[in-house]
Structure 1
Amino acid sequence: MTEYKEEAALLHEKTSVAPDLRIVLVETSHPGNIGSAARAMKVMGLERLILVRPQRFPDPQATALASGAEDLLERAEIHDDLSTAVADCQRVYGTTARDRHIAWPQLEARPAAAQIVALGAHAPVAILFGNERAGLSNDELDLCQCLIQIPTAEVYRSLNLAQAVQILAYELLLAQRAAVFPSSPGVSEAAAPRAAMEGFYGHLRRVLRQAGFLQAPREAHMMRRLRRLFDRAQPDLNEVYILRGILTEVERWAGQVDKQDEHRL
């Protein structure tokens, strides 16, 4: 019996995809897609499902289409805010079927899966799937460092949400079984979590507004470009603290300059 348990544990370890890999469904409108996504995850060894503002959940249709993956639905984490759901992740991938005005780093499903499995072995990773009708918004994509596209025929490129989850889950399982652990170019094991990066971006926005650098109507566009720049750099937590320290000193200096001007008046 002991040998059987050890063998079963070893088999689970070999076939289970990254232990802290999160599948995040954002504003899913149809509960059946949640259930079908849970089933797709379970048959490929994925276990952590996160739902952000689902329109109908829990729901009998989700349970019916889960078909054996009801335990994933029971353990699903529900959040009102996407940034909270991925706050401790070191890398966030967003799925998209269309090109974007501002270029994000982008991979097709297979190379993305190899990179995700490699990183997910030692760091929290999230894959975002957007609303069935509109996909991920630009604000939601701002939380991502890389986009994933699933190759399709040019004639018709629309995939059902659960189909997209199934394809990515399958590619992740293949990457795990093949023990494809590349050096993850551009990915640092010590990269700062998203909560720290979002704190930095908020601080940067405030200082740049005060300096007059960020002005409507191009503020959102410029901040998006700055996000891409710093996301490519992959700063670790100490480096984020340094950057925020610089911003704090700039704010302090600006305050002293303002007081000197007031004194002259």
Structure 2
Amino acid sequence: MRLSRVRFVLIETSLSANVGAVARALKTMGLTQLVLVRPQQRLDAEAMARAAGADDLLARARICDSLAEALAGCRLVIGSSARARALSWPEVDPAGCAEQLLRDAEEGDVALLLGRERSGLTNDELSYCHFLTRIATNPDYSSLNIAAAAQVFAYELRRTALQWQGDGSLAGEPEGDAQVERSDLATADEMMSFYGHLERTLGQIGFADPAQSSTLRRRLRRLFNRARPDRTELNILRGILSAAAGRKRPERFQR
């Protein structure tokens, strides 16, 4: 069940053959969700050939116009990045990535985000992520094909799933070390709606100029992604924003 809730989301892949190879990598490890955001080539005969029998997974692949659409409903998003960022982000290795994804997959859909073959994820795309993960490659030659990267992550997910015990902990994990699960975490699309509300409010109250606040925007998104609020907490935060923008008055509390 957990593996079936893990989405592999590929952004603007340049070659259909790479998508086919990713589909093969996923199917060999029992993963079923492949989502493509604005692929640069259609899924043609080359993609089918590279899928090598995983053409059913290709046929079910969702094609989305935006990353927000691709991540809708996901309670956890982890992005793969081969390069360090000026603004640091919480990081996990591929094994830790698999553990994080599978823990949250007990309660709902989760996503692993893979960027473009040449340039990876943009900073704005990174702001959707709760964690970053990277594969420890040779520093003198770190080039890794997207399908090879997908195979590494897919293998770690299957290996971890096979170790899982019935009580939700990993085999060999000390009792009491499992993270507390929260079943009602805000999803990626709900968080992005909140971020839009937050950024509009900061402009309305004169705290930030939306046109010149990209670093502030990324820092605030990193802060709330790290906190991982549930839906009730998110509604509280949105109520505070509405009050700050003057849409709620203290007189409403007077009897």
Question: In the alignment, does 2:226 pair up with 1:232?
Answer: yes
Question: In the alignment, does 2:202 pair up with 1:208?
Answer: yes
Question: In the alignment, does 2:51 pair up with 1:66?
Answer: yes
What residue in structure 1 maps to residue 241 of structure 2?
A: 247
Question: In the alignment, does 2:128 pair up with 1:143?
Answer: yes
After superposition, where does 1:123-142 map in structure 2 within 5 Å?
123-142=108-127
Could you list the per-position Cα deviations for residues 45-79 of structure 1 after superposition, in whole angstroms to 9, with x for gaps in the alignment? 00111011001122111011000100001000010
How big is the shift at 1:217? 6.8
What residue in structure 1 maps to residue 69 of structure 2?
A: 84
Unaligned runs of 5+ in 1: 1-12, 257-265
How big is the shift at 1:81? 0.6
How big is the shift at 1:215? 2.8
One-letter amino acid matched to 2:191: M
1:188/1:234 contact within 8 Å kept: no
After superposition, the CA RMSD in angstroms is 2.0
1:207 aligned counterpart, secondary structure: helix
Question: In the alignment, does 2:36 pair up with 1:51?
Answer: yes
Structure in which a larger fraction of residues adopt helix: 1
One-letter amino acid matched to 1:197: M
What residue in structure 2 maps to residue 220 of structure 1?
A: 214
What residue in structure 1 maps to residue 26 of structure 2?
A: 41
Identity %: 43
Q: Aligned partners of 2:103 and 2:54: how far apart in 1?
A: 26
Deviating beyond 4 angstroms after TM superposition, the runs of 4 or more aligned structure 1 residues are 182-187, 253-256
Q: Greater shift after overlay, 116-125 or 127-136?
A: 116-125
Change in 2 beyond 3 A, CA 1:186/1:31: farther
Question: In the alignment, does 2:177 pair up with 1:192?
Answer: no
Structure number with greater Rg is 1
1:241 aligned counterpart, secondary structure: helix
How big is the shift at 1:242? 0.9
Q: TM-score, normalised by structure 1?
A: 0.86
Question: In the alignment, does 2:92 pair up with 1:107?
Answer: yes
Q: Aligned partners of 1:241 and 1:214: how far apart in 2?
A: 22
Unaligned runs of 5+ in 2: 171-176, 251-255
Q: Greater shift after overlay, 218-227 or 24-33?
A: 218-227
How big is the shift at 1:122? 2.1
Match of 1:30 among 15, 22, 45: 15
How big is the shift at 1:116? 1.3
